[in-house]
Structures are given as structure tokens and as C-alpha cells.
Chain A
Amino acid sequence: QAVVTQEPSLTVSPGGTVTLTCGSSTGAVTSGHYPYWFQQKPGQAPRTLIYDTSNKDSWTPARFSGSLLGAKAALTLSGAQPEDEADYYCLLSYGAAVVFGGGTKLTVL
């Protein structure tokens, strides 16, 4: 099964901008992988942040956006807030099977 890669950790300053990426061992990530991004805070269940590359869930703050960047899926946070400190997981679809990335621990400092 494919391996999905993410940066293990990133740090962003309050008000700053950061981009998290999601790559695939099988080649370029495309819209056909239906990239997802999930946010998880300690002790909580994950929740959908971005689905199908760039669509936002009803709760997703406007400062988050999803895209394809080169050969990867990307999650960009513009204007980071302290409450954005969390783990972020991407998910890619390979037919009916899906694979999560290892997660990125985002620190707002």
C-alpha cells in the first residue's frame, strides 16, 4: 500500500503563514486522490478541515485553504491563531482504499 508523507512538525508565528504538504509514494498527488485534511487537538477526535482538495467544512475558518502545489496536496494557514496549534493529517484515496499521512504537529509560537 502507498505511503503518504507529511512534515513531522512545523512552527509558525502568530499571524504568520505556513504551508503543510502531503505527498504520495506512487507519484504526483492529483485531484483524483481526493485529498483531505483533518485537524486533531489533544484528547479530541479528528474533524474534517478540507475535503476534495480545497472544499471547506462548515466550521473551517477562512484562514485555512487547500490546494495542489506541484506534486503534492497542500494546506495553507494564513494568519495563524493560537487555537490553530494542533496535529494535522492528510488523507489520500487510492481507489476504495485510503491512506493517512503521518501527521504534522503545528506549533504556533
Chain B
Amino acid sequence: EVQLVESGGGLVQPGGSLRLSCADSAFTIKNYWMSWVRQAPGKGLEWVANINEDGSEKYYVDSVKGRLTIYRDNAMDSLYLQMNSLTAEDTAVYYCVKYATAMVWSWGQGTLVTVSS
């Protein structure tokens, strides 16, 4: 059953901004760490950022620090990724992931972000 649904992807110009959203139809987001993982066309998976259950801890891959911001709204059962100063290297499918330490990762179906003029 589909639980995580990403939205907000699309075409954006270099230097532009975009906000991705991830909705949890299981309404359990507050109990889990959440993460964004991306996959550039024809490439492998790259972890982007994660956030703990109450949003007090956030971690990022070096290449996105200062440009991408992960945050969550547990009351809305939603995860977000604010993406600023985008470059062509940010072009990828972005997946939302829900997990607990040493437990199964549950993945969304992904949303495509294309950075191009």
C-alpha cells in the first residue's frame, strides 16, 4: 500500500527555488526519522538529509548544506525539503523515506526535479 507520497517537483531555472512535500497516508510520521534521498538520471542513490522525530536534529550531505533545508510538520503528517540556489547537479528524482533506527526503510515513489534554463 502506498504510504508516502511526494509532490512539488518540476522544472526550475538555475538559481531558483522549489519546495518538495511528502505526505504520510499512514499518519505515523511523528514516530519516525525521515529522510530525503535523491537519484540523478542514470546514477546511484544519494542521501541528502534526515531529521529526527521531533525535528530537533537535522543532518545533511556536504554538497547541499546551506542550500537545502529539511523540516517536518507532524500535525500535518508531512515532511518538506526547501531547495534554494539550485544547480543542474540537483537534477534528480527525490525520494521521501520513513524509518526507525535499524528498522525497515519505507520509500515513496519519488518526485522529479529538473534544473535547467
Flag the segment in B68-76, B84-92, B103-111 that touches A. Answer: B103-111
**Could you say which of A17-25, A42-50, A64-72 contacts chain B?**
A42-50
Q: Which residues of chain B from 51 to 79 have any CB-CB distance to chain A below 8 Å in the complex? A: 52, 57, 59, 61-62
Quick one: which of A51, A98, A103 contacts B104, CB cutoff 8 A? A51
Q: How many chain A residues have a CB neighbour from B under 8 Å?
A: 23
Interface of A, helix, strand, loop or mixed by DSSP: strand
Instruction: Tell which of A34, A57, A91, A99 touches B101, judged by Cβ atoms closer than 8 Å.
Output: A34
Q: Given that A45-B107, A51-B104 are known contacts, is A100 also in contact with B44, CB under 8 Å in the complex?
A: yes
One digit per residue, 1 when the CB lies within 8 angstroms of any chain B CB and 0 when it does not, for chain A 56-79 equals 010000000000000000000000
Are A1 and B62 in contact, CB atoms less than 8 angstroms apart?
yes
Interface residues on B, range: 20 to 34
| Interface contact B50-A98, CB-CB below 8 Å | yes
In Å, the complex CA distance between A52 and B108 comes to 21
Known contacts: A38-B105, A51-B105, A96-B59. The answer to whether A45 contacts B47 by CB under 8 A is no
B106 CB contacts on chain A under 8 angstroms: 48
Residues on A lying within 8 angstroms of B by beta carbon are 1, 34, 36, 38, 40, 45-48, 51-52, 57, 87, 89, 91, 96-103
Minimal beta-carbon separation of B62 from chain A (angstroms): 6
> How distant is the Cα of A109 from the Cα of B95 in the complex, in angstroms?
31
Give the shortest distance, in Å, between A83 (CB) and chain B (any CB): 19
Closest 8 CB pairs of A and B: A52-B102, A103-B44, A100-B45, A45-B107, A48-B104, A96-B59, A34-B102, A48-B105
The reply to whether B95 and A45 contact each other, CB–CB distance below 8 Å, is yes
Contacts of B46 in A (CB 8 A): 100
Q: List 20 A-B contacts (CB under 8 A).
A: A1-B61, A38-B45, A45-B95, A45-B108, A45-B109, A47-B107, A48-B104, A48-B107, A51-B102, A51-B105, A52-B103, A89-B45, A91-B47, A96-B50, A97-B50, A97-B59, A100-B46, A100-B47, A101-B44, A103-B44
